[in-house]
Structure 1
C-alpha cells in the first residue's frame, strides 16, 4: 500500500486517481471486463491515473497463475486473493488498495459493493458504482435475491454517492432503493473493433458471442438451429465465447445430440482478428440469453453490420425500443425463433443496404469517447470540493 500511495502522489499532476474494483479483469474476456478496460483507456487518455483491483485468478481457469501486479495498456492492475463463490468472491485485501484513491468506482453488485460500502467509515473514499445488471442474471433463487436486494443491497447503496445504471431496466430497478442518486449511462462499445465487417450480401449464417454460461441459453439456440437446418441446409451458426459454467465438451455433446455438426461451429477463446474473420462470412447475430445487464454484444454486432435477432428479455426489449431495426423473438419456442431469423434473412435479402447503414449509425452513438465523458461528469460531481465548480474541475483534470 505504501508504494502505491507514493506512486499516486508522484502522479497527482496527471489528474485524479480513480480506483476501479471489479471481480474479473483482463486477461479474462467478457462484457464486464471490456467495459472496465475501455473506460480506463479513455480516462488515461484524458489525464486521469487509474488502478484496477481484481481477483488474482480467472474463474474460468482457476489453476492459472496471474501476477499480483501488472500494467496492461497503461492500466495499473492489482490482483488480490479471494475465496468463496465466483458470484460473491470474498477478497478483504481490497481495502489495502483504495486508501489513496480520489474516487473508488465499484463495478457490479457483489462482495466488493457491500464490503466497501460497509467499510466506508474505515477508508473514507467517495464512491460510485456501476450496477451492470445487479445480481438478477438468472431467475434462480429469485425470492431470496429480492429479499437481499431490498435489505442488504438497499443498505449498501447508502455508501455510494451515485449508482450508475447501464440500462433502462437497471435504472428502473435501482431507483427503488437509491432514487435521485441513480444515473443512467448506457454502456459504451468498441464500435471500431468489428466496424462494418459483416458480409455485404445476405447469408444464412448466424453469429452468437458471449460466455458459455447457463443463462445465455445456448441449448435453446441449438434447438432453433435444428429447426432452421430442417428448413434449409445452408443455415450455419458460429458460437464464439469463453468457458464459464459450461465447458467445451458439454457444448460439443449438445451439438452432436442434435445432429448439428455440419451446421454449428464452436470457437473457444479466440482473438478479435479471428472473430472479425468469422463475422465477415455472416449476416445475422442472435442471442437466446435469458438475462443481460445491457446487451453490449448486440451493439458490437450492429457496428459490424449484423442484424441482431434477440430473445425478448428486459434489456433487449429496452434496446429495441431505442433501436427499432433490432428484431425480438421468443427463443423458448424453436419454431417461433426460427421464423424470426428466417424473416430477418429475407429482410436483408430485400434490402439495399439502408438497413445496414441504420445499424452502423445507431452503433456509433455508443462510441467510448462519448460514454467516458458522461462518466467523467459524474466523477466531477462526486469529488468536487464544496464551493468549487465541477466544470472547473473537469477543465483542470485535478482535485484540490
Structure 2
C-alpha cells in the first residue's frame, strides 16, 4: 500500500539532478507501481535531487474523474496529461511536451510511454532509463502476441535506453534477452518502518492479503482456499485489502457471499497505512495467490510486520523464498493444498519464526536509501557516458578535417 498523500500547490523542486519519472498511474492511486515511484521520489528529495512525475490525468479505476493538471503530493511535483485508448496501452502523445529541462527521464514499466519516448528520442534527445516492473507479462492473456511484441517492438525500443533496471532476477533474465549488456538488477525498495512489528504478539488464525484486486492476483483462489480452511472446524478469518481493478467491489462481495464466507472474509478498499497496520496487528499470517509479480513488495512489507507469508510460487515469490526461508510456497490453484500449507504454517508458528521473518538485518537490503543510491549510481553512469559522447561529437564538429 502506498503512503498517504499530502497535497499542495506549491512546487518543491530542489536544485539537484532533475529527474522526470514517467508512470501511467500515480498518487492518489494506490498500488505497487505507484508505491515504488512515490517512495523513490521521496528518497531522492531527501538526497537533494529534484524528481518530478508525469502521469495520466485519470485513474483506470475511476476513468470518469479528471484529476488536476498539476499538483504537489508529499513534496513531489506531478504533471498529469490526457490519454485515449485502452488502459492496457493508453496513448498519451503530449508526453513530449512534459520533459522540460530534465537531465534524466526515468520510465516506469513497459507500455506506450516506454515505446513512444524511444521512438521519439530524436525529438527530445533526453537520456532515457527504465525500470521493468515485470514488463507486461502479469497475466497469461494474449501470451503469444505479448511474446511477439516483446521480441519485436520492445527489443527495438530498448535500444534507445541508456540503462534498464530490472526489479527482480526474473525480469533481469527476461530483459537481457532483448537488451543484452544494458540491464542491471535493482530490486524494489520497501518502507520497512511503515508496518514494522505490526503483527499480533500471539499466534492467531487470522490472515491478511494486500494487493490490487486484479485478475492476476486471483482473489477467487483466496476465497476458495478459505472455504477449505474452514472445513477443519477452526475459526479462520481473512482480511483482503486492496483497490478495485479487474474485480469490482460488488463482484468481490458477491463472490464472498456465494461462497457463504461473509462471516470469515472482510473486504477492505483503499485503506490508509494506519488502517492496514491495525488489521495486521490482529493477524499472524499473510497470503498471496498472485500468478505474477514484478518483485513482491507486499511480501517484504508483511515480513517487516512479523507476518508469516504463504504465497503462490510465481517467479518473483519463488526467488524471494530462496533468499528468505521464512516464506512458504503453496499452489493456490489447488485450494486443498494451499489450505494444508497455511494450517501447517500456523501450527509451526512461534515467536522465533516471526522474529526471523522480520529480522532487520535480513531485510535491510530493501531499504529505500540503499535502492535510491543504486539508482543514483545508474544515473551517474548514464550521464557520464552522455558527456563522453557529447564531447566526442563536439571534437568531430570542431575538426575541419573530419
Q: TM-score, normalised by structure 1?
A: 0.92
Please tell me whether the aligned partners of residues 306 and 356 of structure 1 are also in contact (alpha carbons under 8 angstroms): no
Contact preservation (8 Å) 1:196, 1:360: no
**Residue 164 of structure 1: how far off its partner (Å):** 0.4
Does residue 367 (structure 1) correspond to residue 367 (structure 2)? The answer is yes
SS in structure 2 of the partner of residue 225 of structure 1: helix
The DSSP-based 3-state class of the residue aligned with 1:155 is helix
Structure 1 partner of 2:399:
none
- Find the counterpart in structure 2 of residue 130 from structure 1: 131
For residue 264 of structure 1, what is the aligned residue in structure 2? 265
CA apart distance, 1:85: 1.0
Residue 397 of structure 2 corresponds to residue 380 of structure 1: no
Cross-structure match for 1:394: none
Higher mean Cα deviation, 369-378 or 227-236?
227-236
Aligned to 1:120: 121
- Structure 2 partner of 1:357: 356
What does residue 343 of structure 1 align with? 344
Matches within 5 A, 1:216-235: 216-235=217-236
Taking the TM superposition and a 5 Å limit, the aligned residue runs for 1:277-316 are 277-316=278-317
Structure 2 unaligned spans of 5+: 1-9, 390-402
For 1:27, the equivalent position in structure 2 comes to 28
Q: Which residue is 1:392 aligned to? A: none
Q: Is the 8 A contact 1:99 1:125 kept in 2?
A: no
| Equivalent residue, structure 1, for 2:392 | none
| Bigger mean CA deviation after superposition, 61-70 or 299-308 | 61-70
What is the deviation of 1:99? Answer: 3.5
Q: CA deviation at 1:352?
A: 3.6
Alpha-carbon offset, residue 387 of structure 1: 5.8
Is 1:189 paired with 2:180? no
Could you list the per-position Cα deviations for residues 278-325 of structure 1 after superposition, in whole angstroms to 9, with x for gaps in the alignment? 000000000001111111110100010001000011111111111121
Contact 2:197 2:358 in 1 (8 A): no
Distance 1:196 1:260, change over 3 A: same
Deviations 1:159-205 (A, max 9, x none): 10011000010001001011110010000011111111100211111
In structure 1, distance between residues paired with 2:223 and 2:145: 31
CA distance in 2, matches of 1:326, 1:354: 10
Contact 2:307-2:357 at 8 Å conserved across structures: no
**C-alpha distance in 1, partners of 2:286/2:311?**
8
Q: Please identify runs of 4+ aligned residues in structure 1 that moved more than 6 A.
A: none
Q: Given that residues 303 and 364 in structure 1 are in contact (C-alpha distance below 8 angstroms), is that contact kept between their aligned partners in structure 2?
A: no
Matched, 1:83 2:53: no
Q: Give the Cα–Cα distance (whole angstroms) in 1 for the partners of residues 174 and 380 of structure 2.
A: 25
| 2:397 match | none
Aligned equivalents of 1:364 and 1:234: distance in 2?
35
Does the 8 Å CA contact 1:325/1:359 hold for their aligned counterparts?
A: no
- SS of the aligned residue for 1:335 comes to helix
CA distance in 2, matches of 1:254, 1:98: 45
Shift of 1:270: 1.3
Partner of 2:212: 211
Partner of 2:6: none
Indicate the RMSD between aligned Cα atoms, in angstroms: 1.6
1:34, CA displacement in angstroms? 0.4
**Distance across 2 between alignment mates of 1:258 and 1:323:** 34
CA contact under 8 A between 1:117 and 1:156: conserved in structure 2?
Answer: yes
1:236-281 CA deviation, whole Å, 9 max, x = no partner? 0000001111111100111011110111000111111111100000
Name the SS for the 1:128 alignment partner: strand
**Is the 1:304–1:360 Cα contact (8 Å) retained in structure 2?**
no
1:40-87: per-residue Cα shift (whole Å, max 9, x none)? 011111111111000001111112231000011111100000011112
Does the 8 A contact of 2:292 with 2:316 survive in 1?
yes
Equivalenced residue count is: 378
2:301 and 2:161 mapped to 1: Cα distance?
30
**Contact 1:132 1:166 survives alignment (8 Å):** yes
State yes or no: 1:332 paired with 2:313.
no
Q: Could you state the TM-score of these two structures normalised by the residue count of structure 2?
A: 0.91
Give the whole-Å Cα distance in 2 for the aligned partners of 1:117 and 1:347. 51
What do the CA deviations read for 1:113-142 (whole angstroms, capped 9, x no partner)? 000000000000001000000000000110
